[in-house]
Structure 1
């Protein structure tokens, strides 16, 4: 199992607990994002600790792209972890997300108007982006203070990243807000995120049934692929099915875009999204003997340019 360790108290606790729980079965990667001059020394600190503990260690340096700094850094980090997992043949990669991270994530996404998928927060397990490598968060049942106590008991001085105190970042402001208001209980917020994750899994299950039972693959008269969707599901399921159809046709859309397209189709209007054209009709479905909305999706024809 691979452990992503930055040298901060959370990830050091992951390292210590992982080494104790799975002796001889863990490896560590530490990543320098090139954003602070101290980062190289912090990677070297983690390497020294791994050498002392007899744990295989890999260092990486990445260059986040332009745009949202934290988002680009996260993308670069996950890409490095995917490459490392493939090279090392790892069964899974673990990160040190905990209860307080979960509470912060839920509040941030509530403030942004996220849907159920976003409000489900940090998942206990998922996959590293664009890979089949499991990504697990074994510390989601721990408070940050508990993890800091683990590191302190080992007499290790953890790295402190000053960006974690910079109010220019949304997460830092949310963290400070939580610390200032006792009535916002991090454990209760994390429990709500867990319930929302269960609701999301139920929605995914229903969306899978919708895909299997209500979507047929066809061909247009010109031989192009086309999907026919007998739409009679709640809007949240429609969004997932429309997104999946667009993906099957080689397009890519956000849930917000898929939702807007579903709304247009529900009103009987055509919708264009991700290079795919959706058209609405009403047809009698022979196997159930009733009329239903039928949405057909096919690659959008090329536009004439002059």
Structure 2
């Protein structure tokens, strides 16, 4: 079965989006050879068709069979057949050991990205493309708003980021799910609908239904807002990095950041806690980037010392000092 050519306007739009994604990556000068992650769903098939039309002869594709569904092997074979018709080299990837345990979706995602980035490195592609689109972005934003995420979390799906040594690009973040599906149907390309996308046990499925029930919310506009949030996040992250390099001299030297805005203090304090714990080999209590440090920030703002995550933070005129917290007295 042949695949009909895509509209020239759609291909031109995709090329522009792809170039913008490469420009965001800063250290990549030009679009050349790319890898495409293709699950077999309409979104990723649309990405494959667009990439093959935009960069003929410079596209390779891979499908991950998580071995969690019996249909996974057939879907991978379907993608392989489509790639053969398009003249795109294809690989089917599978985990070496079964994916088991709790949080199965998270574990599957981790396995998928590990397989794909390893494959992309071996293929020597300039970037690995995934088919996240505007509806995905809007759903992710709403899910994270509901979890009271900060700016980094609300930046949601990044248009360009690195996973290990692999550049990940999402050139479809301004495209709607419906238009991608229509593109695939008009081309006559095969695709499958993942049954998990309709499973109400998943948070995303419930958010997707809620979004569909509120036509006043425009997923494309929400996705555009995420782009602005991501730009703000990048600017604040760079400023945080500059202040850290200028002001941090070690836990026992004053860290003079008390006059900075709270968001900068939050990031710098978290980093200082990590650095102090690493220097003094503090393993317990546990401390991660998601640990709540708001009470500590409040105490320091009131010029009161406090203890958090095994670290005692003292307030001095010259700045904060970080020490190993004394052991708790037993009753």
Identify if the C-alpha distance between structure 1 residues 235 and 176 changes in structure 2 by more than 3 Å, giving closer, same or farther: same
Could you tell me which residue of structure 2 aligns to residue 222 of structure 1? none
Consecutive unaligned residues in structure 1, runs of 5 or more:
219-225, 285-293
- Report the TM-score when normalising by structure 2: 0.78
Alignment gaps of 5+ in structure 2 = 1-33
Superposition TM-score, scaled by structure 1 size: 0.84
- What's the CA shift string for 1:203-256, capped at 9, x where partnerless? 2122122212222236xxxxxxx5642122222112222333344454862244
In structure 2, the CA distance between the partners of 1:15 and 1:299, relative to structure 1 (3 Å rule), is: farther
Q: Residues 119 and 196 of structure 1 are in contact (CA less than 8 Å); yes or no, is this contact kept in structure 2?
A: yes
Give matches, 1:195-234, under 5 Å.
195-217=228-250, 228-231=254-257, 232-234=259-261
Match of 1:114 in 2: 149
Structure 2 residue aligned with 1:221: none
Pick closer, same or farther for the CA change 1:149–1:280 going to 2, 3 Å: same
Aligned partner of 1:17 among 50, 55, 62: 50
Q: 1:148 aligns with which of 181, 191, 197?
A: 181
Give, in whole Å, the separation in 1 of the partners of 2:129 and 2:253. 38
Map of 2:23 onto structure 1: none
- Provide the rounded CA distance (Å) in 2 between the counterparts of 1:227 and 1:45: 61
Deviation digits for residues 162-201 of structure 1, max 9, x if unmatched?
1101111111111111212211211221122122222212
The equivalences for 1:247-258 within 5 A come to: 247-248=274-275, 250=278, 253-258=288-293
Residue 270 of structure 1 aligns with which residue?
306
Q: Which moved more, 1:296-305 or 1:168-177?
A: 296-305
Asked if 1:245 is matched to 2:272, the reply is: yes
Question: Which whole-Å CA distance do the structure 2 matches of 1:300 and 1:26 have between them?
Answer: 55
1:134 is paired with a residue of what secondary structure?
strand
**1:233–1:93 CA distance, 2 compared to 1 (3 A):** same
**What is the rounded CA distance, in whole Å, between the counterparts of 1:137 and 1:181 in structure 2?**
26
Q: CA contact under 8 A between 2:37 and 2:44: conserved in structure 1?
A: yes
Partner secondary structure for residue 314 of structure 2: strand
Alignment of 1:50-89 (within 5 A): 50-62=83-95, 63-89=98-124
More strand by percentage: 1
Structure 2 partner of 1:291: none
Greater relative CO (CA pairs within 8 A, separation 6+): 2
